[in-house]
Amino acid sequence: MPLGQFGCRNFREACSRRRSSGNEHEMPFGHNSNVTVAGDTYHVQTEERGAAHALIDTTVYLRGRVLHRRTNSFKDLLPLNADREQALKLRVDTQHLSVVDEIRSGKLRLSASNDAKSSVPLKAAAAEPARALYLELLNARTWLSGKRAMLQIAVNDAANKPVANATVIARVAGAAEPAVFSSETGSLGRAKIEFEMPPRVGPEVALVIEASKGKAHAQLRFQLRAKPRVPSAS
């Protein structure tokens, strides 16, 4: 299969939920939200890192740049059972909503002064009409070769016209260490992102691709599954 050691199934969703079987978990609780303040749209991502790390991570992005990270431990809930999973879910929800509320209220002050795009006047950014974005992974069957990922991405608007200068980011949800890879579309609405696939925490990970321009945002999510190994002849 061209995907190498992974197969993938595409779906769009704003948040993920864990499915449990006994004391083992397959997918972490998590949320993804967009918060628009003064013409800037911040992407807030929260996910728990699994029992091996016992951390709840919340990261705030602006145009692919990490502006804030908040991490809390849940080692006191280990080992997980049904009741403790509910407590963990509540902590993830609370931490995510807390960061979102702090951004909206101004309590959490986020600076994008190091971002070259922040020099664009806010009035000009606000004047840009909101448009729906549509993402497509053009090489969906061949994007992964061994551990090397190469994403060819197209970003179009509702009229199927290419969107130039859109920020595109890719990340691997469920990776051992958080990492974000970014690019920007050219005049034809195309972007390319290349990176080494990071180590995985659990048996399932997800490739998340996001695009944004002004107030418009779109997301693709590919659930990646490890292919079963063929037993060697004895």
pLDDT tens per residue, range 6-22: 333 333 333 334 434 34
pLDDT tens per residue, range 61-96: 888 788 898 989 999 999 989 889 889 999 999 999
Residue 234 lies in a domain: no
Per DSSP (E only), the strands in 38-125 are 40-48, 55-62, 65-73
- Entry pTM: 0.47
Which pLDDT score, from 0 to 100, does residue 165 have? 92
Residue 49 pLDDT level (bands cut at 50, 70, 90): confident
Q: Is the dihedral of CA 202, 26, 177, 7 positive or negative?
A: positive
Contact 198, 207 (CB under 8 A): no
Residue 232 lies in a domain: no
Residue 120 lies in a domain: yes
Which pLDDT score, from 0 to 100, does residue 225 have? 66
99: CATH: 2.60.40.10
Residue 155 lies in a domain: yes
Which residue type does 8 have?
C
Q: At a CB cut-off of 8 Å and minimum separation 6, what does 94 contact?
A: none
Q: What one-character DSSP code corresponds to residue 52? A: T
Return the closest-CA partner of residue 48 out of 14, 10, 75: 75
Q: At a CB cut-off of 8 Å and minimum separation 6, what does 124 contact?
A: none
Residue 31 lies in a domain: yes
Residue 106 lies in a domain: yes
Q: Rounded to whole angstroms, how far apart are CA atoms 175 and 201?
A: 6
Number of domains the chain contains: 1
Range of the domain at 188: 6-226
Q: At a CB cut-off of 8 Å and minimum separation 6, what does 72 contact?
A: 55, 56, 91, 95
Q: Rounded to whole angstroms, how far apart are CA atoms 186 and 164?
A: 5
Which pLDDT score, from 0 to 100, does residue 202 have? 63
The answer on pLDDT for 158 being more than 90 is no
Q: Which two tokens stand for residue 168?
A: 């595109």
Half-sphere exposure in the Cβ direction for 164 (13 Å, CA): 3
Residue for token pair 């922040």: 118
Which pLDDT score, from 0 to 100, does residue 19 have? 39
DSSP 210-232: EEEETTEEEEEEEEEEEPPPPPP
Residue for token pair 């972490």: 28
Residue 210 lies in a domain: yes
Residue 231 lies in a domain: no
Residue 98 pLDDT level (bands cut at 50, 70, 90): very high
Q: At a CB cut-off of 8 Å and minimum separation 6, what does 140 contact?
A: 8, 10, 222
